Amino acid sequence: MERRRLLALTVALLGGCSDLPGATGPRTPPTPSEPTAAPTRSLQVTNLAVEEADDGHLRVVATVRNGTNAQRTRRLRIRVRAGEIRTEQQRDVTVPGGTQQDVVFDFADVQYEDFSGNGSLNSGWV
- The domain segmentation of the chain, as residue ranges, is 43-118
Output the pLDDT for position 26. Answer: 64
How far is the C-alpha of 83 from the C-alpha of 81, rounded, in Å? 6
pTM of the model: 0.67
Give pLDDT, residue 62.
98
Q: What is the pLDDT of residue 42?
A: 86
Summarize the confidence of residues 98-116 as an average pLDDT: 96
CA distance 85 to 110: 7
Cβ burial of 115 (10 Å; 0-12, 13-18, 19+) is buried
Mean pLDDT, rounded, for 46-74: 96
Quote the pLDDT of residue 20.
Answer: 58
Q: CB-based burial of residue 24 (10 Å sphere; 0-12 exposed, 13-18 middle, 19+ buried)? A: exposed
Segment holding 61, helix H or strand E: strand 57-66
CATH number of this structure's domain 43-118:
2.60.40.10
* pLDDT band, residue 117 (cuts 50/70/90): confident
> What's the CA gap between 116 and 23, in Å, rounded?
62
pLDDT of residue 118: 87
Model confidence over 67-93: pLDDT tens digits?
999 999 999 999 999 999 999 999 999
Instruction: Label residue 58 by pLDDT band (50, 70, 90).
Output: very high
